[in-house]
Amino acid sequence: MRVPFLLLTPACVFLGASVVIANGISIDILSLVLVLLGALSAHVSVNTLNEYYDFESGLDLKTKRTPFSGGSGALPQNPGAARAVLVTAAVSLAVMMAVGSFFLWKFGAGLLPLGIVGLLLIVTYTGWINRYPILCLIAPGLGFGVLMVVGTQFVLAGEYAPSGWLVALIPFLLVNNLLLLNQYPDIQADSTVGRNHLPIAYGTTSSSRIYVLFVIATMVAVTAYILAGHLPVLSFMALLPMPLAFFAWYGATHYGESIGKYPQYLGANVAVALATPVLLGISILYG
């Protein structure tokens, strides 16, 4: 399940909930719990499906493992658990669909587009999306930044709010960056099983340029939202982790595929993706 990775889910749900509270809407606790359950189930499902397919394809035996690799590498040590991993993926996907169906019944078809896109992301990410560089680049941010943040905001408010879409851009950019750098150490192994993500297709130099472009876009977006009155001035605090992003970019630029030997850079990238939406949510609540 990659439990440490699951921290990203409550961070994104929190950001969506903060938008609702800031708009003066009282949150139903049961709905919030169900949203978190559905989001965590989706995250567990995509993680375990990735774990299963990496083992079945033989990728696990070729990957030089880092703490930030997409799979845990546990199945080669215990091949008999593969079926249990697949069952876990299916059960967690069923839980997500059950939660989504409840909210569809409660609010109507407004949530349906997000649900369909989310389901497609989960079932196609490892086997299909990873073969298309641009799709693979934006899929993580779409799933966590847009679907989780905007979906949370819709379910808790009963309708879409423009502010939900605006703030979703921030985790969209940073979660894309999170997965982008984590792919660097796995370039050689991934290419042997047909994957074709951005670092494979265009190299680490171009990928690092995209990374820093997304970092700058994050800073510009937050600043523009504040100047336009869409976010409070306190939201400048969401930019506090940005030096860590530039630190990670330095590591990516200088070490490329070898960045896995220097986990401090990958760790800094994770910290940015987790801390920024939390700080942004706090600023929205108290600004």
pLDDT score at 67? 67
Cβ-in-10-Å burial (0-12, 13-18, 19+) of 228 comes to exposed
pTM above the 0.85 mark?
A: yes
Q: Rounded CA gap, 172 and 264, in Å? A: 23
pLDDT score at 66? 66
Give residue limits of the domains in the chain.
3-286
Going residue by residue through the chain, which has 287 residues, state the pLDDT in tens, using 9 for 90 and above: 677 789 999 999 999 999 999 999 999 999 999 999 999 999 999 999 888 888 887 776 666 666 666 555 677 777 788 889 899 999 999 999 999 999 999 998 899 999 999 999 999 988 899 999 999 999 999 999 899 999 999 999 999 999 999 999 999 999 999 999 999 999 988 888 888 999 999 999 999 999 999 999 999 999 999 999 999 999 999 999 999 999 999 999 999 999 999 999 999 999 999 999 999 999 999 98
Q: Rounded CA gap, 32 and 15, in Å? A: 12
pLDDT score at 126? 81
Give the chain's largest Cα–Cα span.
56
The answer to whether 248 and 218 have CB atoms below 8 angstroms apart is: no
